[in-house]
Structure 1
Amino acid sequence: MSKVLIAPSMLAADFGNLQRDIEMVNKSEADWFHIDVMDGHFVPNISYGMPVIQAIKKHATKPLDVHLMIEKPERYIEEFAKVGADIITVHHESTIHLHRTLTQIEDAGCKAGVVLNLTTPVSVLEDILPKCYMVLLMSINPGFGGQKFEDMTYNRVKKLRQMANEKGLNTRIEIDGGVTDKNAKALVDAGADVLVAGSYIFRSEDQSETIKHLKAVANR
């Protein structure tokens, strides 16, 4: 497997010092910026939109991994691409015509991925998986940071990795929610290779060192 990537979730950053936190991620061993977009409909919370992403992109030196927790994401794909998204993931549960939406993301010049909520079986991706650069498995209920990791995630990762292997695919599997150094290695052993961490990183005393430690644990 390729090296495990770390994607700090900017939802947990200090928005009063956003540029400072962007620079920290730039200088750290992190690989991507994880950007959670919430609309108050698909999930109860509201986060940020295009202007904030554009501001992050202006200072970021690493790819923007944009996770759309919004209804009918196909309405905004081109706009998110224009403001700097490099990877766009959409929830299987949020769009009726998933294949069309993934094609739309690719046509906008971004890598396309699908997100599954906790209780959506990975089997729904059987036919669409070859079109996915990445699958993001939620390990919490989406909408709020700081939630406890759900152990059912391990088995879901194993099932998805087995499905990808059987199809001869190198699909990246990303985990979002409650990721720490306590579960990172088990997630990687199950088949994950991108770990999103928000509160664990940004609430730590030395954020850069926490990223370094998490990456070392995951790639052990």
Structure 2
Amino acid sequence: MNLPFSQEQFFEVFAAYNLALWPAQIALNALAMAMLAVVLWAPRRAGRLVSWGLALLWTWQALAYHLAFFWSINPAAPFFAAVSLVAATAFAWQGGIRRALQFQPGLSVRSVAGLIQIVFALLIYPAIGAYIGHRYPASPTFGLPCPTTLFTFGLLLMAAPNLPRIVVLAPLAWALIGSTAALALGVNEDLGLVVVAALGVYMLLRRSAPTGDSPQLPQP
């Protein structure tokens, strides 16, 4: 895979982003923890809150990372920003406005798998990166594309069945893009995106419904 930048330039962009936008990383992690908390403790009220939270995260990575920093080394960054904004729009419309993204009480096998993936995105992912030498600030922190994609699919696995396909498409696209780049750049912590991509295909084929056909759960 031929890339228009080197591994060194790639990690330099992470460092520039993290140093310039600190302490936004703390706020983004706090947002993620709040979203997980509402799913676990108030699932029937979580759909809209989580949807708007995901819309914010995907808008953030489009503007604050792809356009503000990644574009300096990769001319494809505006395309990646557009994919992220498509995801943000899908979450805002389908989940925030139409309420088509819902959560139910209890933990199924899929929900437990989603919870494990969220723990991986927030805790294990940065630990693996630090262990193999990708230390802050030259490391992908939460709010950047790959950990955000992992976190997003964790929440989607915890969601009620028949979520709209459109909310899966853009994160799946990034999982495929990120997993191939991980192999080329040696970002081994991103190899979890291969699993995410497989889960995305499964969700598209088995768990999701066409746009506009999603049933809505009653709100208390």
**TM-score, normalised relative to structure 1:** 0.27
**Higher-helix-fraction structure:** 2
**Higher-strand-fraction structure:** 1
| Larger-gyration structure (1/2) | 2
